[in-house]
Amino acid sequence: MKLLNVEAVLDRDKGIQQAGHKPDIMKELDDNTTSYAILSHRWGAEVSYEEMIGLMEMEEQQREEIKQRYGYQKIIKSCEQVTKDGYKWLWVDTCCIDKRSSSELSEAINSMCRWYRNAQVCYAHLNDVDASVFPTERDNDKFGESNGWPEWFMRGWTLQELIAPKQVAFFNKDWAPIGSKQRFAPTLQNITGIPCEVLRDGLAAKRLSVAQIMSWAADRKTTRVEDRAYSLMGLFGVNMPMLYGEGEKAFQRLQLEIIRVSNDHSIFAWYSPTPRPGSVLAEDPRDFRGCGRIRKLEPREYVDKLIFQYIKENDLGDPRYIDVFGSNRRARRRKLAALRDAVHSQQFQTFTVSNAGIQHVFMAGDCN
């Protein structure tokens, strides 16, 4: 990944340059072995990669125009905060990706969730918050266009930028610190629907269903419709090429990629008030809006719950129970154990996707 050399950026901004020494503003480094900070923000008047690299070679008028941009000031303020925190490198999506290269852009988007996860700290800049405290209550007067909360919480890309980093520090529009992800986890859960344990510990080792993760993106917006899918790839651990212009097909492709690597049936738990005959896949993350409480169960746990529920709801002497499991207690135990062991069968396997669509596996039980 390309990272900004914070010291070089700040020195250049102040006009400091040692004789015969011109440090690189940006350097290609390994995100697995480098300590760096990362910025999460709402885009506005930003600075591109080529502008950041070639700033000093420009005419003075053009250079000053760039320096006056809100996006440039964000970079400088971020660099100053990185210095305070004792780091040397910073990643900013607007200027650390050469978007003239489609291959570099695709690689960056497919790697972005990992880059946020590997960062030492993420700075979340809330450009519409002028208060010196973190907003803990909905304010429809101030944030009427973003469901009563700062706009950052309603954007598609900021979902992974909130979940993936170990540490997220929030700043108001003037770059005053107003809180952290760890401290305000209960409030963030109220705003986003993301459980506190996910906010504190990330997605690792959490039994989260596909539908539940999708539900967190249901009310988020992106400038381009394709980004509603691309911004979710990292959360599901899948990769796919960027095809801007494909529109809503991007979300269909995302679901197919998830199905390739997961047998989580909750991907089919979506609901749309508009009938769509012939489609088993959702059209948009909005279709998962009501799925926030769907939890992923391991096959064995699922079978155990079914057995427990059946026994709970039926008299042990009920003929239906005896017909299935027998009247002998020892025989019942054997059949229950056999049923539990059956969950390891190859019949419980990942869906196969081909050009013809999803290949279904039909299962038949055998109680003999």
CB 27 within 8 Å of CB 9 = no
Is residue 354 predicted with pLDDT exceeding 60? no
Label residue 187 by pLDDT band (50, 70, 90): very high
pLDDT on residue 204: 76
158/147: higher pLDDT: 158
Rounded (10°) CA dihedral 50, 55, 58, 62: 100
Q: Please give the pLDDT value at position 363.
A: 43
Instruction: Provide DSSP, 126-192.
Output: -TT--SSS---S--TTTSGGGTTS-GGGGBSTHHHHHHSSS-EEEE-TT--EEEETTTTHHHHHHHH
Query: 217 and 223 in contact (C-beta within 8 Å)?
Result: no
pTM score: 0.84
The model's confidence at residue 297, banded by pLDDT at 50, 70 and 90, is confident
Q: How far apart are CA 341 and CA 85, in angstroms?
A: 53
Using 50, 70 and 90 to split pLDDT, how confident is the model at 358? low
